């Protein structure tokens, strides 16, 4: 049994592994791992305290996929609910649909009795208002994106932590694999914009027969290259995990995107081997097996 996650999953990975140890399924573990990240007030890229869109509203996206049946559920641009991953799971389990968005997703959450919460924190609001000075080095694509969105919003852009997302993949006692993604998406995004996170095949894919992959980074690129599905397809075609990741990252070179920025993938093969890739040096991911006392943080494969 194993759980692999993006490194902001540290607040949830122990809980996810504990869920597996107690006999929970891979789907249970993914939700158990992601919920603490969604509640973490220090993480401005996921759930509560996520950075808002162009008009100052926090809109969340999430998806979950069951590698045993290829069932999937997702919500997009949902406001006022702290745990979109749990709502995505209910979409998968209770609706004859994969993805619901906006007012429909909020209606579904309300019908199921999920508690409502104002997700915009004063700190996230302050970041949204923006500062004139750039305090953090970011790549040219991100600078361009922020300038464009700041122009649309008539705001001064602050590139500090403009994006990230959380990825969790779990493999349970039965060898079943599940994959989950949750995000507040790109800060200053146009209202209603969906990234790769709620789109099955773009930001999330799981298939017990081959493995699973999930993405963080510029969603528009992962959507155009079907990145998560590509990793799993390359595994199916017989590539090893590292080669599959390298190939999927290299596919992104063909995506001509003026706003290109960081792209990152975490993955697990069908035998439970974890790995991850990034187009930034020194990026890390975490994993924890059921026989480990704590998680281990490893460097991602660097594929510029
Ligand atoms: N992939 C997310 C999105 O495009 C954001 C991120 O991971 O940075 O919404």
DSSP three-state, residue 38: helix
Per residue in 38-65, pLDDT tens? 999 998 899 998 888 888 899 999 999 9
Pair 187, 200: CB distance under 8 Å: no
What's the pLDDT at 165? 95
Distance of alpha carbon 148 from alpha carbon 152, whole angstroms:
6
Widest CA span in the chain: 53
Residue 126 confidence (pLDDT) above 80: no
Ligand 1 neighbour 188 (Cβ under 6 A): no
Ligand 1 neighbour 217 (Cβ under 6 A): yes
Pair 95, 23: CB distance under 8 Å: no
Distance of alpha carbon 223 from alpha carbon 231, whole angstroms:
13
Catalytic residues: 165
End-to-end CA distance of the chain: 31
pLDDT band at 137 (very low <50, low <70, confident <90, very high): low
Distance 173 CA to ligand 1 centre (A): 31
Beta strand 211-217 with 263-269 is antiparallel
Span 113-130, mean pLDDT? 83
Per residue in 258-275, pLDDT tens? 887 789 999 999 999 999
Q: Which of 183, 194, 224, 278 to mutate to test the pocket of ligand 1 (most atoms within 8 A of CB)?
A: 183
Domains and CATH numbers, the chain: 2-302 (3.60.20.30)
Ligand 1 neighbour 216 (Cβ under 6 A): yes
- The Cα-based distances of 216 to 69, 71, 155, 163, 185 in angstroms read 24, 21, 25, 9, 9
* For ligand 1, atom 8: residue with the closest CA: 164
Distance 263 CA to ligand 1 centre (A): 9
DSSP three-state, residue 86: helix
Between 159 and 215, residue with greater pLDDT: 215
Ligand 1 neighbour 262 (Cβ under 6 A): no
Q: For the chain, what is the mean pLDDT?
A: 91
Using the atom order of ligand 1, give the atom closest to the CA of residue 262.
Answer: 8
Distance 163 CA to ligand 1 centre (A): 6
For a pLDDT cut of 70, what percent of the chain falls above it? 92
The whole-model pTM stands at 0.92
pLDDT band at 132 (very low <50, low <70, confident <90, very high): very low
Pair 89, 73: CB distance under 8 Å: yes
């Amino acid at each position: 049994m194993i759980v692999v996650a993006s490194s902001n999953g540290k607040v949830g990975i122990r809980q996810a592994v504990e869920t597996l140890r107690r006999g929970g399924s891979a789907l249970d573990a993914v939700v158990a791992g992601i919920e603490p990240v969604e509640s973490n007030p220090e993480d401005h890229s996921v759930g509560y305290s996520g950075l808002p869109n162009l008009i100052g509203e926090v809109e969340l996206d999430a998806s979950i996929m069951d590698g045993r049946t290829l069932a999937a559920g997702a919500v997009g641009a949902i406001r006022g609910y702290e745990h979109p991953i749990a709502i995505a799971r209910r979409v998968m389990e209770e609706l004859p649909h994969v993805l619901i968005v906006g007012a429909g997703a909020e209606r579904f959450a309300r019908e199921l009795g999920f508690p409502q919460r104002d997700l915009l924190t004063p700190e996230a609001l302050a970041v949204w208002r923006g500062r004139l000075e750039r305090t953090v080095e970011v790549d040219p694509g991100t600078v361009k994106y922020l300038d464009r969105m700041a122009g649309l919003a008539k705001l001064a852009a602050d590139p500090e932590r403009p994006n990230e997302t959380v990825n969790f993949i779990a493999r349970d006692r039965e060898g079943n694999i599940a994959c989950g993604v949750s995000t507040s998406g790109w800060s200053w995004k146009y209202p209603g914009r969906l990234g790769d996170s709620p789109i099955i095949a773009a930001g999330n894919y799981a298939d017990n027969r081959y493995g699973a992959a999930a993405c963080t980074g510029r969603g528009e690129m992962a959507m155009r290259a079907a990145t998560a599905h590509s990793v799993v397809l390359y595994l199916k075609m017989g590539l090893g995990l590292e080669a599959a990741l390298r190939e999927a990252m290299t596919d992104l070179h063909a995506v001509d995107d003026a706003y290109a920025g960081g792209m990152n993938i975490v993955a697990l093969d069908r035998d439970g081997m974890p790995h991850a890739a990034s187009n930034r040096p020194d990026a890390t991911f975490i994993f924890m097996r059921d026989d480990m006392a704590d998680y281990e943080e490893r460097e991602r494969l660097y594929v510029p």
